[in-house]
Amino acid sequence: MSFLTLDHVSHHYFSKDSYTKAIDDISLSIEEGEFVSLLGPSGCGKSTILSIIAGIMKQTAGKVLLQDQLITDSKIPIGYMLQQDYLFPWKTILNNVLLGPKIYDTNSEETKTRALELLDEVGLHDVANQHPGALSGGMRQRAALVRTLINDPKIMLLDEPFSALDYQTKLRLEDLVSLQIKTYHKTTILVTHDIGEAIAMSDRIFIMHANPGSIDKVFEVPIELRNETPFLVRRHPKYQIIFDKVWDVLSKKETDSKVVPPTS
Ligand SMILES: Nc1ncnc2c1ncn2[C@@H]1O[C@H](COP(=O)(O)OP(=O)(O)OP(=O)(O)O)[C@@H](O)[C@H]1O
Ligand SMILES: [Mg+2]
């Protein structure tokens, strides 16, 4: 039994006089504690897949199972982190983090202590009482990470969480997110256009193609790379070899792609 299973999942978006076949017959399984990436060109259905797993949208065909239970029936908490942090500007960082516990009615002194501990772990303890406007993009994404972790999600869905950041901040945040996810044994799905990021962070990479979105190939990242931090993976002798293999697969696909060129 896999932790998460997509079983022949398809999704069509309907409008008044047309429809888009966003994803077609996607089947995949993810084990508990695994970190996988969905890598592929714009419009291949990566965000659609995450929205379906998050339960925001119902697929038009197929099944999504979490620990053998339909995801729609499951009470297992899921964390969602996006490109934009969606922090409320009028709330302090701490109160933004405590929003989930308040909604789920699990807020307590203990939760507040935990929030402050997590903020400390990501270097934000000193700004807990500041508002998001006073923070840099990288700091805000760290706050968004803590806001996700505080609810103790069993799956983390990361939809291009680093793509709006400058390159140095992105590399630092990759290491931090990876450390937090490993420390707390979270099962994670990362959506990215960045081959380097997918190799640096994942155990497996699902390469997708568009029109309609489907899985083209699955790459297993060698164990020696998985045991390194994302920053050090990029310097590993095997990194470029895998990069080139992934690049080759993607290059054979659509030219309408936002994938970064092989210079990193
Ligand atoms: N709400 C919607 N209504 C109609 N079509 C949609 C809607 N959302 C997405 N689509 C279409 O479904 C397909 C998949 O979109 P999706 O956003 O999942 O792709 P993506 O891989 O996440 O793209 P990107 O990398 O640009 O974020 C695209 O053709 C897109 O235009
Ligand atoms: Mg998307």
Residue ranges of the domains in the chain?
Answer: 1-76+155-165+187-255, 83-153
pLDDT score at 19: 87
pLDDT score at 262: 53
The answer on pLDDT for 257 being more than 50 is no
Protein residue with its CA nearest to atom 31 in ligand 1: 43
* Ligand 2 midpoint to CA 81 (Å): 12
Stated pTM of the model? 0.92
How many residues comprise the chain?
A: 264
Pick the CATH number of 1-76+155-165+187-255 from 3.20.20.80, 3.40.50.300, 3.30.70.20, 3.40.50.720: 3.40.50.300
* Average pLDDT taken over every residue of the chain: 91
Pocket of ligand 1, candidates 12, 17, 48: which has the most ligand atoms within 8 Å of its Cβ, to mutate?
A: 48
213 Cα distance to chain centroid: 18
- Give how far Cα 20 sits from Cα of 148, 211, 212, 216, 251, Å: 31, 9, 8, 19, 24
Instruction: List for the chain the helix, strand, coil content (%; round to 5).
Output: 35, 25, 40
pLDDT score at 107: 80
* Bridge partner list, 9: 26
Q: Are strands 69-70 and 61-66 parallel, antiparallel or unpaired?
A: antiparallel
Q: Which atom of ligand 1 is nearest to the CA of 14?
A: 4
DSSP 8-state assignment for residue 62: E
Spell out which residues have Cβ within 5 A of ligand 2, the ion. 47
Q: Please list every protein residue whose CB sits less than 6 Å from any atom of ligand 1.
A: 13, 20, 22, 42-48, 213
pLDDT score at 150: 93
| pLDDT tens by residue, 58-85 | 999 999 999 989 988 888 889 999 988 8
